[in-house]
Structure 1
């Protein structure tokens, strides 16, 4: 129960995190106001209602994109903010309703204007790659549209069509992309909530099978960018936890062992062939990601009883 770990990570956050992640840290662990997170997040929103400006630290495109807008939605969900009348929310609804940056298969993972900006190579525009990498993005955004937007919205029937077209992909053995399983995990409950007649028991079982098979189980590989158990298991309440308790325990110890002395955890990726061209931007992005990763890791360690969070400060 290491409160020293918490104190050291907290100090690093106050010294290094950008205002958004610091507000999120305070909201999650210090009794901070969710409104401060919303206020910080608003600075990444564009006039069209979408989000850009390196909200996702690996893509410095100031223009709105579906993925960066999903990042904003995930943050709002994380802090329990659901005021649909708020201008931030209204902007998101407007951006999604416009159908911007969408194609016949759903919302685009990468967009053409990315190529003019500092970025990781996976954010370079590639329409062929989009057909796979957009699976999880489209699934997650469809889940939001189906549960939070008016059925009379012009985007609603398109989202429903896209969503139902994704379900057979789960049943098959093909590639689902980086975000596929996570997006489908959000989509299934949304389809169930809206009364779509599907074999949910079998689909949830299949989702669990595919997630279980995707877990990288060798700790020697965890310094690489691979799906560790925590990609799919965030607490002991996870349905995947009982059969993966042993490997999850290994990851928790790995996290305790690999934190930088007096600091936070390293990231497990680089910008590869674009790293030299954008060396300065990557150095900044790396720090932004460390802050985001620190929040997630402290939450994970707390959920499994590896650290005690102090009372609200």
Structure 2
């Protein structure tokens, strides 16, 4: 049985509907109908306030809308747009994304940014790293959300305000300590801003990032594959080829006997663990396939 067959079987028995429909698009080369089905599933997570919740991001079990859930959804939309079927549903994707803006406006802080989660997360199970749910506005997730809305040509005052916040905060971040999650959001923003000089400044900091493994190592951290999962991604130039190859080797070897990949942190309960395994398994399979490893 092939690795991809094992992966499909795992997803069919462990993953939630979102990842199963997304697998039909990304692993089975689905067309516009499959791409539209993914958008339909995402719409099921929407609340009356226009935001998204209901454990779309599995570490937050709250039904309440959260900026984190919006960020997760727009990452899925990015995957749709990157697929061959993406052009066929671009307008639907834009409408979905534009419908999120009123919610984002309602939770934006006075300085123009978004907190990654709201204190309402504490009323429901959550991963330990979300603590008391009190977070200030940050580049993670504001910069990534802004960049993805720009890609869809969503406009309006919120994007202008968020852009000013991200510009000021990105300039500060490039001169200070950076974790990998924030750096990836900053990179998306700089690219969407056409700031090639800023991208170069960030590229010089890659080796200094916290929560990042340039080469495989112990503990949690993002890798070059999180920044540039596809071999033709322009960001690949930021990383040594042998570092990318080493991470591909580790990723391929990490597949477990049931056909899925493990989760390197502790989700808040068995449902969250199963959902995350579906997410990380699909991500791993897509990356390995794109790099001719699966």
Scaled to the shorter chain, the TM-score interval is: 0.7 to 0.9
Is 1:93–2:101 an aligned residue pair? yes
Aligned to 1:260, which of 256, 261, 264? 256
- Structure 1 runs (4+) greater than 6 angstroms displaced: none
Q: Secondary structure at the match of 1:174?
A: coil
2:138 is aligned with 1:158: no
1:97-143 per-position Cα deviation (integer Å, ceiling 9, x unaligned): x332534251011201011111012223454x535xx2221111232
TM-score (ref. length: structure 2): 0.86
Which residue does 2:245 correspond to in 1?
A: 249
User: Structure 2 vs 1, CA of residues 116 and 178 (structure 1 numbering), >3 Å: closer, same or farther?
Assistant: farther
Q: Deviations over 1:45-70 (max 9, x none)?
A: 11111100000000011111112112
Which residue of the partner structure matches residue 140 of structure 1? 144
Q: CA, structure 1 residues 68+85, in 2 after alignment: closer, same or farther (shift >3 Å)?
A: closer
Residue 207 of structure 1, CA deviation: 1.6
Corresponding pairs, count: 280
Cα deviation for residue 233 of structure 1 reads 2.8
State the Cα distance separating 1:11 from its structure 2 match. Answer: 0.5
1:240–1:75 distance in 2 versus 1, CA, 3 Å:
closer
TM superposition shift of 1:287? 1.1
Equivalent position to 2:271, from 256, 269, 284: 284
For residue 24 of structure 1, what is the aligned residue in structure 2?
Answer: 22
CA separation of 1:35 and 1:167: change in aligned 2, threshold 3 A: same
1:111/1:173 Cα in 2 relative to 1: closer, same or farther (>3 Å)? same
- Give the match for residue 235 of structure 1: 230
Distance 1:255 1:65 in 2: 30
Question: Is the 1:16–1:291 contact (alpha carbons within 8 Å) kept by the matching residues of 2?
Answer: yes
Aligned to 1:300: 287
In the alignment, the residues of structure 1 paired with residue 98 and residue 117 of structure 2 have an alpha-carbon distance, to the nearest angstrom, of 24
* 1:123 maps to 2:141: no
- Alignment pair present for 1:83 and 2:91: yes
Please give the residue correspondences for 1:133-212 in structure 2 after superposition, counting only pairs within 5 Å.
Answer: 134-146=138-150, 148-150=153-155, 153-175=156-178, 177=179, 179-192=181-194, 200-212=195-207
Alpha-carbon separation, structure 1, partners of 2:228 and 2:49 = 35
Partner of 1:196: none
Q: Quick check: 1:219 aligned with 2:219? A: no
Q: Is the 8 A contact 1:212 1:240 kept in 2?
A: no
**Structure 1: which 5+ runs fail to align?**
193-199, 272-280, 308-313
> Superposition RMSD on alpha carbons, in Å?
2.4
- Summarize the Cα distance change of 1:103–1:63 in structure 2 as closer, same or farther, 3 Å threshold: farther
Q: Which structure has the larger Rg?
A: 1
